[in-house]
Homo-oligomer: A and B are copies of this chain.
Amino acid sequence: MARIVIDMDNVMADLTAHYVNSYEASHGIKLDLQALHGVPEGEVLPEGLVHKLLRSAGFFRTAPVIPGSQEVIKALMEKYEVFIVSAAMEFPLSLKEKLEWLNEHFPFISWHNIVFCGSKTIVEADIMIDDYDKNLRHFKGRQLLFTAPHNVHLADYERVNNWEDVAAALGVEVPAARV
């Protein structure tokens, strides 16, 4: 059974929307998502606010789920060995919050199949789904770049724009109503 490793941030959890919503809530200013295309993730908000949010209690715990991720991951698990691999070690607060978030939104994923790491170079798998060039670049298997505003200009990868694309790329069927 082929093994897929799936990233959390910006693949399962919509951190971009979460940044923008948090900024609107605190500053009353609604940012235009289109204007974030090609902007490095840390610069999505002014004054280093992204880095502050990433270190704020509750930020990861309350991130919205990217539509389709629950249904497609459930379908992938019937055909593949699925591991969730998140580079969580940089943000110690995130460890507990990410685990709780997964248990709430993806209760069908066992703790056996969750990995929190620093560098993803240690992971052995056949397929990787990630929004970051730095994670995909060193991976020996099939690389799927999940579209996020910061990576829209990257052309070197097989790109998936959403979870319907993932289902199509990996040959699983999900009833349209469920995605």
Q: Which residues of A contact B (CB under 8 A)?
A: 3, 5, 83, 85, 89-90, 92, 95-96, 99-100, 110-119, 122-125
Contact among B89, B99, B111, B125 for A99, CB-based, below 8 A: B89
**How close is A56's CB to chain B, nearest CB, in angstroms?**
16
Q: Apart from A5-B122, A113-B118, what are 9 other A-B pairs with CB-CB below 8 Å?
A: A89-B115, A90-B111, A92-B99, A110-B118, A112-B118, A115-B115, A116-B117, A123-B123, A123-B124
A117 touches B119 (CB 8 A): no
A83 touches B114 (CB 8 A): no
Q: How far is the CA of A116 from the CA of B94 in the complex (A)?
A: 13
Q: How far is the CA of A110 from the CA of B42 in the complex (A)?
A: 21
Copies of this chain present: 2
CB-CB under 8 A from A95, the residues of chain B are: 95-96, 99, 116
Q: How far is the CA of A92 from the CA of B98 in the complex (A)?
A: 10
Q: A99-B95, A122-B5, A123-B122 are in contact. Are A89 and B117 (CB under 8 A)?
A: no
**How close is A25's CB to chain B, nearest CB, in angstroms?**
27
CB-CB under 8 A from A90, the residues of chain B are: 111
B125 touches A111 (CB 8 A): no
**How close is A90's CB to chain B, nearest CB, in angstroms?**
6
Contact among B5, B96, B118, B125 for A96, CB-based, below 8 A: B96
Closest 10 CB pairs of A and B: A124-B124, A112-B118, A95-B95, A89-B111, A115-B117, A112-B119, A111-B118, A116-B116, A89-B114, A92-B99
Who on chain B is nearest to A109 by CB? B118
